[in-house]
Structure 1
Amino acid sequence: MEDQEIEKVSKLSCKFHGDFLLDESPVTFEDSSSLQEAARTARPWRRAGRSGEGVAAKLVRQISVRLIQEAQRALEDFSELKMRYNDLLKSRTVQQFQKIIKHIKRFMIFCYEFELGFQRSLATKLPAIRGGGEDEAELAEILKKRASCPFNSTSLNQWLECTEREVSTLESIVQLMPNTQVLPSQNHMYKETGRVRNALLFVFTALDSSDQFLTDLQKHLEGSASGRNSQDPEMDKWYLSKDLHKAIIQKARLFSHFAKANQGKDDIRFFAVGLTDRFKRSTIYCFEDGLLVSDDYVPPSEPEALTGQSLSQQCAAAVLHASTGSAQHHRIQSGGL
């Protein structure tokens, strides 16, 4: 360097920042130049070190991504379930049967409660694992418990699929009775039957049957679940029995033909409702002036137009038969389907 350059360089000051502890901290350009060889020697070692650290970090991230993706899928499953049961609640058929609404809302509440607990667990464990305070096995255990409890994705989806199928089956049966008004509850039944001289109701009696799977969900949330496996959501469903389904359809068609034959009469109305009853799966109620006079009325096999008086006489015959054990009326039988 020329004299002028040397003079300028001599006025320079230096300050070092790095990962190495130096014997002396250089403050001039000349002092810092003496570290050049050491820096060159250390540089390949630092590069090798960083490469090794990257491999280890990459391996840890691969394990974390696998578990995090599984946790994310679980949360997405709950979101999809939420959309499905909200759509189901908007169905006209569901709105017509409060028993179905009750079951779906119980399912919604249980899923929401479990999802909140699951989210809290993830919110606690994930930061702890990332910070090194806990092992990833903690997250794996959370996911394993969820997969083995009643709130696993397979069982929840299966229950919802069963409910969707039940709603579809109800819809197809209701469509067989176009001249029939569907009442959503027992209160509506008493209100409507009190407004007309005579009323016949097609009663779906299977809608309030106990749902063991919902009970299993509730017990799990309460911490009182037994060690047994949760009941299959499809077990003992009326709409899965071909014989029962066929019998209900036959009765619905008979009811519909009778309603059509008496369409337009002011003193006779036809309804359908979902209730709990001693009869299996379906029956027909006969009301007179708001009072139940028969809980197992059977319309004639051949459609015929009747007056309110003749219908009342048939219902009265049913009451007489039930109380005295007298000869059975040809339109009344002793048991529902």
Structure 2
Amino acid sequence: MLLEALSSEQLRGRADPGVTLWNLDLLHKDVESKPQENTSFELITSDSISDKASALEVSASLKASFLSGLVSVGGSATYINDKKSSSHHARVTLKYSRTTRFDQLTMNHLGAQNMTYPEVFDQGTATHVVTGILYGAQAFFIFDREVSTSENIQDIQGSLQVMIKKIPTVSIEGEGKLKLTDTEKESVTKFNCTFHGDFALDRNPVTYEDALNTYANLPNLLGPNEEKAVPVKVWLHPLSNLDNRAAKLVREISNNLISKAENILQQVTDVNMQCNDLMRHPAAEIFPDIKRKISHFREYCEQFTLVIQKQLAQTLPSIRGGEMEELTLGNILAGKDRSPFAKLHVDGYLSRKRQEMDTVHSYLQVLANVKVLPSEDELNKVVNDPMVDFIVCYNFTSLNEGETYLSDLTKWLLILEKLDNEDYQPNTVTPWFKNIDVMRKARERVRAYHEFTQVNTLREDTHYTVSCTPDPKNPGVSIYLYEVGVLVCDSFLPPGKPSPPVTVSLSHDMVKLSLKPSDFGEEFVVGYSIEYRKQEEETWKTQRTENEDQEVNLTGLQANKTYQVRYSSVCKAGLSAASDITVVKILPASPPETITCTSEPTCLHLLWKEPKVVGEGATITEYKVEYKEKEHDNPTFLETKTGNKTETWDIEGLKPKTSYAIRVQAVCGDLGTSAPSDEIEAITAETQKQEVTNSKGNLP
């Protein structure tokens, strides 16, 4: 058999498969054949091109031809094309190797006078003749096991190795029953097996048990006389040593360049695996726009592989034949590092996509109870539902916007030949998930949105969704508010949890509250929902306001009772989270009523009626009488107490003909006082007694 070492191809298509230097009888007459029996097995834990080529005992030169696509593989050699599809797979390969005999030509063949067809040298294609063949067979059993996120891939890899080492030595108890523990049996059910070999099998093994049975039967598959063995290794002799007319291999490709080419294609293999993993990411499974971008990126990388292989296939034979210098190949490989497919740029893109998906997924986990509508079409179906008044949508606005890097890859593939000497300069655009301001906004909104949905989960007229409508005005995320099928706000902020209510004033049946809504979403507040209950009760009562006034009177309360009060901000789509509770103690009694006064020059004689309302558990023990001169605008009242429950009191030591402001409070011991009565104005007499109008402005 003649070979062309320039491309490492057997002469096919350019010459008849039977092209040879000798006639068939002479060829077989002096072939030396001797047994070379050997059986071995090996565990392979790496899935790299380099280690697979090593397992197949492929020379550097042949590996270069394989990398460039100049040679195709079959039988056990198809193992080199079997690649892991995910980094979440543990993989261990069992290699079985069997040799049977070695055949070689003798000097009787290689003498120039013994060649039957010397005209073959004139064809100028073949460079070598096969002078020795080692026969046998090889098989590769690839065991894969998917690794869950809760498992350690190294531990699973170790478990695989332990179980696969058993295959060549495992004991089988009658009728093929395996000696495996229950734990081992459970473990091997998770293994998947793929077979690549030089053996003709009725059925390829797919399970661990299948692999055991197949492995045990491999020697029998070579035939009773091992006549089904195939060439596993050949020795070549240059034809130029036999005749100067023969084509010649001028130089081999240097190992350094072969390693560089291998690294490039290995990188593409790794990228394909990473893309597969990213496309199975929860965020990519939910939002097709993310998966679409990764799919396009993977396609571009595959096109790049074809471009590189085409360039290698055009270059390698010319270098080997002396028509081209190695520098040409070096420039091709160096050009890759100047392109957007350079490892730095590719790894950077994959890292960014992973970070984007992790960011999206973390937000989806926060909003786990919210329905996701992955496309604008699905969102529109809900928006147009006539039974829904409001839709509040947490919207990822940048997932499907164009990416300059993907555009650059496309351009580079289209005008590749014009860019050989140009370095790729990426555009420095900060993605939304790395923009500090955008992410701060996204965090605020996802927390507010989550809180808002939790509070309003029972509202039947409002739906909550997550979607990905593009919106360049609001990069990253935005909350959309739809009302009766119309988008009324593309930057809605659900009102946040307000500050606790502050007591402004109290009476026996009312409290005036000051409300302070959160700054977040304040512009969307249209009113407030105030909840209150007695401290010992569980059920809340509600009072609603229909305006944005931040001072509210809470009425209808009971004297001498302690209440818990909280409130929520109200917007069109629902309520904010309730504020923290403020505890309010209602005054024990209503104010004294109908105050009358008789005046003397230095004394005022007061008379009043006891409060109409005295709270449960409260008792009036005395009254507090407060007074001050009105003329001096003095804000401070002087006070005196009656000392017991009496509805009359004399204020003595006053100035004649002086105007006084007077009010009275009921004192209920340790429970506190009532609110002050309405003020009356009384003027001390000049010389005689004088009656003063009561607090209602009427004579008694």
Q: Is the TM-score greater than 0.5?
A: yes
Partner of 1:47: none
- Once the two structures are overlaid, the 10-residue window that deviates more, 283-292 or 145-154, is 283-292
Gap regions ≥5 residues in structure 2: 1-107, 113-240, 242-250, 499-522, 527-547, 549-568, 573-700
> Do 1:181 and 1:272's aligned partners in 2 also have CA atoms closer than 8 Å?
yes
Partner of 1:205: 397
Per-residue deviation at 1:228? 6.7
Question: Paired residue for 2:343, among 140, 144, 153?
Answer: 153
1:209-288 aligned at under 5 Å gives the runs 209-223=401-415, 229-231=424-426, 235-277=429-471, 278-288=473-483
Partner of 1:41: none
Per-residue deviation at 1:135? 1.9
- The residue type equivalent to 2:329 in the other structure is L
> Do 1:206 and 1:280's aligned partners in 2 also have CA atoms closer than 8 Å?
yes
- The residue type equivalent to 1:302 in the other structure is K
Q: Secondary structure at the match of 1:120?
A: helix
Partner of 1:94: 284
> Do 1:95 and 1:184's aligned partners in 2 also have CA atoms closer than 8 Å?
no
Is 2:374 the partner of 1:192? no
Partner of 2:490: 295
Deviations along 1:94-137, one digit per CA (max 9) or x if unpaired, are 12223322321221222121111111111222233223332211
Partner of 1:321: none
- The residue type equivalent to 1:291 in the other structure is V
Call closer, same or farther: CA 1:190–1:150 in 2, change over 3 Å. same
C-alpha distance in 2 between matches for 1:146 and 1:113:
13
> Do 1:166 and 1:239's aligned partners in 2 also have CA atoms closer than 8 Å?
yes
- The residue type equivalent to 1:250 in the other structure is E
* Count of residues paired in the alignment: 259
C-alpha distance in 2 between matches for 1:160 and 1:205:
20
Q: Secondary structure at the match of 2:398?
A: coil
Partner of 2:298: 108
User: Whose strand fraction is larger, Structure 1's or Structure 2's?
Assistant: 2
Deviations along 1:288-328, one digit per CA (max 9) or x if unpaired, are 3433232222211129xxxxxxxxxx99x9xxxxxxxxx9x
> Quick check: which has more Rg, 1 or 2?
2
Partner of 2:268: 78
C-alpha distance in 2 between matches for 1:16 and 1:269:
88
Identity of aligned pairs, percent? 27
C-alpha distance in 2 between matches for 1:168 and 1:17:
67
Partner of 2:368: 178
C-alpha distance in 2 between matches for 1:285 and 1:248:
13
User: Whose helix fraction is larger, Structure 1's or Structure 2's?
Assistant: 1
- The residue type equivalent to 1:104 in the other structure is I
Structure-1-length-normalised TM-score:
0.68
> Do 1:85 and 1:108's aligned partners in 2 also have CA atoms closer than 8 Å?
yes
Call closer, same or farther: CA 1:258–1:246 in 2, change over 3 Å. same
Per-residue deviation at 1:330? 8.7
Q: Secondary structure at the match of 2:379?
A: helix
> Do 1:179 and 1:260's aligned partners in 2 also have CA atoms closer than 8 Å?
no
Per-residue deviation at 1:16? 11
Call closer, same or farther: CA 1:17–1:124 in 2, change over 3 Å. closer
Q: Which has the higher contact order (CA 8 A, sep 6+)?
A: 1
C-alpha distance in 1 between matches for 2:110 and 2:259:
40
- The residue type equivalent to 2:367 in the other structure is M
Q: CA RMSD in A?
A: 3.2
Structure-2-length-normalised TM-score:
0.34
Deviations along 1:32-58, one digit per CA (max 9) or x if unpaired, are xxxxxxxxxxxxxxxxxx9xxxxxxxx
Gap regions ≥5 residues in structure 1: 1-14, 20-49, 51-59, 304-313, 318-326, 333-337
